[in-house]
């Protein structure tokens, strides 16, 4: 299938199926039920799932293949967002102009940062990337205000040139099809959303995932794994490893630029907060939680963290009281107080606990958890088949 072996083609088909059916899979509970709080099938969250999956897939090409941990990848995310908004300001709202420019600008920016940072390895490389990201954040926030609009954020105004605007929509669109367009399907007690912006970003995510598979299986991917295994030994053979490392860094930065451009397509307003160190740390968590060096891991990790962020953070004490109102007050109030520490503004505590559990019991991430469950079912089926075979041998059918 388009250059993939059977195992990768099956994985790619599963990702396609899950992505296309996401509006159904993410809305398991009826809209009016108490459990509808845990539904995630609404436009904004679905778009963030696939956009941050692109971000994490690109980061995994660097970290998963080479072992070089960057703490500054949010700089490329922010640069991509700024470049996309400037295309909206100068040309028009068609994303066909904004996204390629976001990828190219982020790629050029990553060449500069990567060329300097890759002169060091290990923790020194990580600190260098973090320093560059924080410098970029401070430049965007206070120094380059004519370009970034500082703390207010960059957005499109009526007096902007928009040379090719014409009669097109005044929001991000793809040749007239607005990213905010959303179709709804009501089936009984369920409501399913089919946002155009989600499917547009999802197609780009699938293309990014396919490209990542080809990179992982290519000679370049094998070379990057060899560098991760023992870069010193590779150097002793006379091979210059730096061009391979820089290529991985730049490709990873371009993925981040694409994600930043898609964030600007969701909302043509971007600020320096997208370049903060917390955003860089978030993509590190996504990759580790999903499974470093695996193909599916970054997608699972991005969905997991964005789900926790959006779902757990909006559970407040009123929601908790509605859940426990059948209990006596002397039980209800302590339970609400206890659970309130882990949701709402304290949702990071829940994420931290889940991260600890994954790292301790599933060091290979969520992908390893899925592999263990699959192996358990295979053993059970094998044991059941073996038992049936032994029973058939002991009790042959009468002739």
Of the chain, the end-to-end C-alpha distance in Å amounts to 49
CA 233 – CA 194 distance, rounded (Å) = 52
247 phi/psi in degrees, rounded to 5: -60, -45
**Phi/psi of residue 364, nearest 5 degrees:** -90, 5
Where in the chain is CATH 1.10.3470? 6-314
Average pLDDT across the chain, whole number: 88
Q: pLDDT band for 394, please (50, 70, 90 cuts).
A: low
For residue 117, give the 3-state DSSP assignment: helix
Cross-strand partners of 184: 193
Q: Is residue 269 within a helix (H) or strand (E), and if so which, with residue range? A: strand 269-270
pTM of the model: 0.91
Can you name the CATH fold of 6-314?
Answer: ABC transporter involved in vitamin B12 uptake, BtuC (1.10.3470)
Most confident of 28-37, 139-148, 365-374: 139-148
pLDDT digits (tens, 9 = 90+) for 4-58: 888 999 999 999 999 999 999 999 888 888 778 888 888 899 999 999 999 999 9
- Please state, as a whole number, how many other Cβ atoms lie within 10 Å of the Cβ of residue 272: 25
CA–centroid distance for 387 within its chain: 44
| CB 252 within 8 Å of CB 68 | no
State the DSSP string of 181-220.
-EEEEEETTEEEEEEHHHHHHHHHHHHHHHHHHHHHHSHH
* Sequential DSSP letters for 103-143: HHHHHHHHHHHHHHHTTS-HHHHHHHHHHHHHHHHHIIIII
- To the nearest 10°, report the CA torsion of 306, 44, 146, 83: 80
Q: Do 37 and 213 form a contact (C-beta atoms < 8 A)?
A: no
Taken in order 363, 365, 368, 373, is the CA torsion positive or negative? positive
Structure tokens at 336: 């609400």
DSSP category for residue 39? -
pLDDT digits (tens, 9 = 90+) for 370-388: 888 878 877 877 776 666 6
| Number of neighbours of residue 350 by Cβ within 10 angstroms | 17
Widest CA span in the chain: 93
Which pairs from 359-362 meet CB under 8 Å and 24+ separation?
A: 359/288
Residue 224, classed as helix, strand or coil, is: helix
Query: Which residue from 307, 298, 287 is spatially nearest to 351, judged by alpha carbons?
Result: 307
Instruction: Report pLDDT digits (tens) over 311-357.
Output: 888 888 888 888 888 888 888 888 888 888 888 888 888 888 888 88
Residue in the block written with tokens 């995932």: 209
For residues 60 and 297, give the distance between their C-alpha atoms in angstroms, rounded to a whole number: 9
Residue 86 pLDDT > 90, yes or no?
yes
Pick from 209, 249, 210, 211: which is nearest to 227 by CA? 249
Average of per-residue pLDDT across 364-373 = 84
Specify whether the CB–CB gap between 182 and 196 falls below 8 A: yes
Write the DSSP symbol of residue 161.
Answer: -
pLDDT at position 371 is: 81
Mean pLDDT of 235-261: 92
Helix-strand-coil split of the chain, %, nearest 5: 70, 5, 25
């Amino acid at each position: 299938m388009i250059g993939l072996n059977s195992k990768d083609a099956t994985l790619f088909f599963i990702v396609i199926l899950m992505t296309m059916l996401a509006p159904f899979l993410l809305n398991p509970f009826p809209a009016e039920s108490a459990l509808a709080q845990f539904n995630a099938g609404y436009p904004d969250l679905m778009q963030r799932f696939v956009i941050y999956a692109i971000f994490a897939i690109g980061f995994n090409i660097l970290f998963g293949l080479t072992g070089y941990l960057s703490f500054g990848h949010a700089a490329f995310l922010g640069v991509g967002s700024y470049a996309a908004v400037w295309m909206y300001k100068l040309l028009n709202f068609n994303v066909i102009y904004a996204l390629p420019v976001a990828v190219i600008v982020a790629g050029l920016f990553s060449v500069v940062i990567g060329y300097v940072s890759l002169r060091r390895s290990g923790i020194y490389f990580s600190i260098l990337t973090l320093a560059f990201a924080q410098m970029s954040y401070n430049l965007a926030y206070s120094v380059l205000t004519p370009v970034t609009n500082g703390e207010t954020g960059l957005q499109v105004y009526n007096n902007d040139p928009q040379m090719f605007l014409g009669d097109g929509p005044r929001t991000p669109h793809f040749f007239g099809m607005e990213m905010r367009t959303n179709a709804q399907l009501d089936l009984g007690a369920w409501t399913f959303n089919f946002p155009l912006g989600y499917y547009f970003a999802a197609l780009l995510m699938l293309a990014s995932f396919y490209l990542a598979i080809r990179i992982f299986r290519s000679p370049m991917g094998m070379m990057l794994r060899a560098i991760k295994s023992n870069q010193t030994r590779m150097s002793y053979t006379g091979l210059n490893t730096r061009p391979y490392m820089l290529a991985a860094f730049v490709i990873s930065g371009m993925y981040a630029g694409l994600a930043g451009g898609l964030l600007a397509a969701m909302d043509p307003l971007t600020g320096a907060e997208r370049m903060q160190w917390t955003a860089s740390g978030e993509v590190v968590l996504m990759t580790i939680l999903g499974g470093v060096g695996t193909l599916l891991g970054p997608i699972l990790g991005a969905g997991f963290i964005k789900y926790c962020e959006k779902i757990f953070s909006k559970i407040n004490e009123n929601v908790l009281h509605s859940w426990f109102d059948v209990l006596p007050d002397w039980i209800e109030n302590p339970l609400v107080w206890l659970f309130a520490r882990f949701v709402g503004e304290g949702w990071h505590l829940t994420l931290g606990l889940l991260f600890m559990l994954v790292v301790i019991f599933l060091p290979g991430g969520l992908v390893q958890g899925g592999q263990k469950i699959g192996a358990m079912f295979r053993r059970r089926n094998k044991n059941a088949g073996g038992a049936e075979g032994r029973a058939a041998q002991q009790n042959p059918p009468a002739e």
